[in-house]
Amino acid sequence: MTRGRCWTFSRMLSERRRVSELLYEKEKIGQRFNTKGWVNSVRLHKDVVFINITDGSCLKHLQIVASPDQAEGVTLGSSVSVEGELMKSPASGQTVELKADKVTLVGNCDPKDYPFKMKERHSVDYTRGFPHLRHRTNFFSSLLRTRNSATMAIHQYFQNNGYCLVNTPVITSHDAEGAGEVFSLQPGSSGAVDLTTGNDKSPKDKPPLFFGHLAYLTVSGQLQLEAVNGGFSKVYTFGPTFRAENSRGRHHLCEFYMIEAELAFTESLEDILKEMESLVKVSGHQIMEKSAEDVEVFHKHVAPGHKAIVEKILSSEWHRIPYSDAVQVLSKKNNEFEFKVTWGKEFQKEHEHYLVSYFNNIPVFVTDFPKELKPFYARANNDGKTVSSVDLLFPGVGEVFGGSLREERLDILKARMEELCMTEDYAWYLDIRRFGSAPHGGFGMGFERFLQSLLGIHNIKDTIPFPRSSKNCKM
């Protein structure tokens, strides 16, 4: 009995706590704890050293009070383990601090070589050059925590509303969007390119196709999701997608994350629009509440004034306008646009931004696009020219969602696919319409663009841990 009590007491002496837990342990002042983390700053005084550490669990840092001997070798960027007593802090801006009994240097760091310096505000453009280290900065650690909260909020929304999560494949045999912006796959040895000249060193005789046919990195999980939607009335997927867009601008990534959903037994595009709006508003409110401290970093320091825009997005009734009416609105400003607007052409970013501003910076559903502008699966409208489709435009970002009713009528779908010379590779897709077809529709949301909309981040490359774009694939 005594041995058991001693073991428990000994265990409590070295009980490890995360920084976020210790910062809010006011009722445990006077108790001893162990914590581990990375040094954010070191302030050396004559008889005392103040060390701020973080472990990524929250935005705030925990102040460690140590002696110069205890802090020997501890520098900005190093990792440490600290044991000590939790004390009430006399300093403003913090409630507690840890008075160290022991500081163990776990991993050292040479401050001369470390790319981040104390008392310097590093721009996001600068930190983007260090994708392996930028999570140490306040900006990017806040981004990762918010991204985590947003991921969980989206999953919770779908789970609470009767959806089944489906893991759609990353390797596919088709281009779901039909845009041709796919990455082809073929096995090969690493180092098949001469790093000096950039020339291909692989054998001239290419090996046979690994899958027996062409294969690609997915641009969308929608078609596979539709297949499952033939037996499950509500399904969704959340995963990486890839587009071979040769752009290095701030709007595009070659690898990004998509949330896609399909709903069976719906004959109304309005049902799809309502689900999009509900997803954003429900998960958005949850993110704003759960990650308030991290979100404030962006609304205060990165995009001042953006908080009011987000509140408007989450509280206002969103607008709806057919594509043809949007063309009329835009054509009145054609002399101000770089790209002139005519019916049948894609909207450019400048057009999307104008439409949102025209409707007082509230999200806008643009519906019923010309069939040539949308993929083959969009359901044809009765006019023979347009399809039952939608793009959802957000302030400052432009298109965040795309969706449509799916063409469930076998004869019409088959005729459209024959027109596009694509029936041979999509026989399985036609089978979905042959065996128990039902009216259905769905949408896809770009996760990184959603984060841009909530946080006001200018460059989409700052919304993802390891951005991929043309000529940029570090790590």
Each residue's pLDDT tens digit, 173-184:
887 766 668 898
pLDDT confidence tier of residue 200, bands split at 50, 70 and 90: low
**Whether residue 329 is found in the same domain as residue 264:** yes
7 in a structural domain: no
CATH code of the domain in which 35 resides: 2.40.50.140
Within this chain, do residues 101 and 138 fall inside the same structural domain, yes or no?
Answer: no
Share of the chain above pLDDT 70, in %: 92
114, part of any domain: no
Question: How much is the pTM?
Answer: 0.91
Residues 6 or more apart whose Cβ sits within 8 Å of residue 263: 229, 233, 234, 271, 272, 275, 440, 441, 442
With respect to residue 4, please indicate whether it lies within any of the assigned structural domains.
no
Residue 191 lies in a domain: yes
Kindly tell me if the per-residue pLDDT of 192 is higher than 70: no
- pLDDT score at 9: 42
Query: Which residues constitute the domain of residue 38?
Result: 14-107
Co-location of 154 and 245 in the same domain: yes
In-domain check, residue 64: yes
pLDDT at 12 over 60: no
Say whether both 301 and 409 belong to one domain: yes
Q: Is the pLDDT of residue 450 over 50?
A: yes
Strands 234-242 vs 255-264: parallel, antiparallel or unpaired: antiparallel
Q: What is the pLDDT of residues 257-300, one digit of tens each?
A: 999 999 999 999 999 999 999 999 999 999 999 999 999 999 99
Asked whether residue 124 is domain-assigned, the answer is no
Check whether residue 102 and residue 139 sit in a common domain: no
**In-domain check, residue 241:** yes
Query: Which pLDDT tens digit goes with each residue over 138-150?
Result: 999 999 999 999 9
Q: Cβ distance 416 to 376 under 8 Å?
A: yes
Sheet holding 171-172, edge to edge: 171-172, 215-217, 184-185
Both 78 and 140 in one domain: the answer is: no
Domain count within the chain: 2
pLDDT at 17 over 80: yes
Report the range of poorest mean pLDDT among 106-115, 154-163, 332-341, 463-472: 463-472
- Asked if the structure places residue 438 within a domain, the reply is yes
103 and 142 part of one domain: no
What is residue 470's predicted lDDT score, i.e. its pLDDT?
Answer: 85
> What mean pLDDT do residues 421-448 have?
92
Are 158 and 271 part of one and the same domain? yes
pLDDT of amino acid 204: 59
Domain with 212 in it: what CATH number?
A: 3.30.930.10
pLDDT at 423 over 60: yes
* Whether 191 and 308 share a structural domain: yes
pLDDT of 426: 87
Regarding whether 138 and 99 lie in a shared domain, the answer is no
Judgement on whether residues 142 and 103 belong to the same structural domain of the protein:
no
Contact in structure between 64 and 100 (CB atoms under 8 Å): yes
Q: Model confidence over 389-418: pLDDT tens digits? A: 999 999 999 999 999 999 999 999 999 999
* Pair (268, 355) in one structural domain: yes
- pLDDT at site 197: 53
Q: Tell me, what's the pLDDT at 202? A: 56
Q: How far apart are CA 242 and CA 219, in angstroms?
A: 5
pLDDT at 47 over 60: yes
